[in-house]
A and B are shown apart, each in its own frame.
Chain A
Amino acid sequence: MEIFDLTIHELHEKLKAKEVSSVEATRAMLDRIEAVDSQVNAYITVTPEQALVQAEDADRRIAAGEIAPLTGIPVGLKDIFVTKGIRTTCGSRILENFVPPYDGTAVARLKEQGAVIVGKLNQDEFAMGSSNESSYFGPCKNPWDLSCTPGGSSGGSAAAIAARTATATLGTDTGGSIRQPASHCGCVGLKPTYGRVSRYGVIAYASSLDQVGPLTRDVTDSALLLGAVAGYDPRDSTSVNTPVPDYLASLAKGVKGMKIGLPKQYFIEGLDPDVKRAMDEAIALYQSLGADIREVSLPNTEYAVATYYIIATAEASANLARYDGVRFGHRAEDARGLAQMYSKSRAEGFGPEVKRRIMLGTYALSSGYYDAYYVKAQKVRTLIQQDFLNAFKEVDVLLTPIAPTPAFKIAEKLEDPLQMYLSDIFTIPVNLAGTCGISVPAGFSAAGLPIGLQLVGKPFGEQEILTAAYSFERETKWHLKKAPL
């Protein structure tokens, strides 16, 4: 077992026992990045100097007996997290040289605990995508099969876990951007309830849907990292002021008597047979563990993708208006006059997927179409949310696939945006409903690609899904399999 293979809690024990120092662990991780990242392209920016300074500082804290669960642990951040003094690109040319003057709240909380930030991770440009192919810094590859995408948008965050180039990472999830790449890369990815983790210092894609969450090697790490970043933040008006429970404490409670719902709309014809088999095995396992499995209905599921692509793009069209070449970011060199400076800078700075979504969102909000598209979508959102609340009157958690298929090939879906959008059908409703979901490794396809299982909880029901996920992981050990890299 190499240092870079360890989970947070395993490395923590070694740091605590002084079997290894944070500087050693960080060096090991940086060496590993050096060795394999050229194949994976999980990192946009690696920060060895800062990381080693932070590691030395962590070692001093450990020596002084002030070790917290994340002290000295090498973590990576999706490049959507604003980091003071460290270039933050959001996967876009428009921010190619942007060095923020501040840290976001989640980053600040990691730093307070003494975590070591080894670098900034690849992602779809502005988190818009399901394959990491829209990144200006080149596609990230799936460590299980380098010809496949790792999923997206937090592709780098998931690939770094699978490639063992970070002990844990943070990603963001707007329509599945943590859970789907976690599923495709065989790691654990959790999207918390909207409002659970501060969005301050997270570059906005769709503000009413974006949420920060952990990508980790196992469920214990997920609980641990979520606990470290969750909680009220006065700088985010949408952060919720309810106490953060001890997610670790309830992990081993077991699923005996837990009511698990299978939404019938999620077990459809087009489901990949390998995915179908993995789901069937998971259901059987939960049954054997004493869970009470029953079918539920989320009748408005088929409207989720359409709803999402109106709401998310409308919000994005405004969120991305600040990239105008005035205060920061790319400015076209040969523009004549202000109007051209705007339209050229933005045309050069944004890639096609971002432009497409800005266009779609601008159209949905424009005069004459606002009610037909935006207001309509917000109303359907209400129905979708009610579906979940109704289901949760009957069950404690929902069990669903994460994606209809395992990871797809690079460039396979690039030409048809709508097909790409439809691959998020199982994750998008959770964001629209504002509730929480986790992806846990649930087996492999015949081709050897990981398959994830989604557990969806009630609003602020992170404890239940973590408990259910932990029970599954303890029985299956899928998470222990390593990508061939």
Chain B
Amino acid sequence: MKRFADLMERLVYTGGRNAKLAILAEYFRTTPDPDRGWALAALTDGYETRLLTPAAVRKLAEARTDPVLFRLSYDYVGDLAETTALIWPEAEALPGEAPRLGEIVDTLARTSRARAPQHVEGWLDRLDGSGRYALLKLLMGGLRVGVSARLAKTALAQYGGKPIEEIEELWFGLTPPYGDLFAWLDGRTSAPQVDTSTLFRPVMLANPLEDGELDRLAPTDFRAEWKWDGIRVQLAARDGEARLFTRTGDEIGPAFPDIAGRADFDAVLDGELLVRREGEIRPFNDLQQRLGRKSVTAAMLRDYPAHLRVYDILFRGDRDLRPDPFETRRAELEAFVTGLNRDWLDLSPLVPFDDWDALRAIWDGTREAGIEGLMLKRVDASYTAGRPKGPWFKWKRAPLTADCVLMYAQRGHGKRSSLYSDFTFGCWRDGPDGAPELVPVGKAYSGYTDAELKEIDRWIRRNTVEKFGPVRSVIPEIVLEVAFDSVHPSKRHKSGIAMRFPRIHRLRTDKPAEEADRVETLAAMIEG
């Protein structure tokens, strides 16, 4: 656990990619199995226990500390795991050796949720400050050390001197603590044998189209498609068995039997998961009703029928089409879908255009339900995992905006935990007595510069009306221009509406709060 804690500590503070890779490789080299495998799992989201709830951690901490001092400390530090790790009483000498990561994982695998805190308490006594922090973060979920799964795999590739593609390909067939993987990387065995037929294949991602970039590209090199407002999925079907994955490889098939249960063919398809009712694509909000669930009810299947709109084919039968150019894959895909003839699956059409001006005109017009913009794909590009620069672009339509008034501020997370950086903002409507009142319409965390953030933070501290724990209500004075992708009806919000992907565009210092937008204006933006 000591090594793991050191690793976490170093990664948290290290900014540079190469420095991170060096730190990871050093860790893999100097740490034995199975500890290094469990660390790898923790970094790549392969070890998610959520065994410790915040309430359980609080209880542990409060039993060992003065509650007033704990509260003051938590207020200052702003993070429960860190507060607990730092405040935990320390004996002169640690009682017994620090637990190993593998020992912790093993013990917890044999322990009920209810008894876990008891073990954790014992371990906390045997660890130092950074060990306690790493343990709590690991078991509470939310180890944020700025290492993507991709970066971890790159470090593995460098460590073992293997191409990253090989690791990516095997990855979803491997399980923690990855003994077979490390044996291979250490040169002791050959590559692990994995049946890849219904495994997730790492997906190819697009880069956003930058301003002016279009003019540097030749229109004849590209094909355009609609960018659908659903979620990116991969359907891997083989011998009557089918699995549906998100783009990060999470399996969601069981929640979508109307897709996965009907795929009786042999192919791996890349496409968009949407809700389609009576022949029409529904807004994202409808799809949202079906996401994040383990299973699905008959009513949901009826009210929000899932639909797969495909735009690429990775395998047709045994044939790996990924090395082939887009045009070849497209022809295969069209032939495949035409022959299939299923109502729950269709082809995402190409959008024909002559030149960039023509395409720009089409893009300007895209504000229909389900369409988020355009995709541009190079005709000669193979299907390459990751986000290669050049072959694919996403060209999102312009966001909607509204002027809203800052109502509540909450301390942020991570880097921003000492600043008030999470904002709830509202728009005006007529209150019960006819006088205008503000009602919250959304909440946003990002989209401002550090300088703006500091300025707003200072203002918030000076203009607080009331404090509720980490939240402050403020004088309704600051107008924020909020950008968002769409608006949909919401029963959970007092205003009756909710924004999708709201972010703060800029501070409207020029605008008095009374002139901010009204809820009705937002409601008129609801689609579908």
* Pair from one complex: no
Q: Which residues of B contact A (CB under 8 A)?
A: none
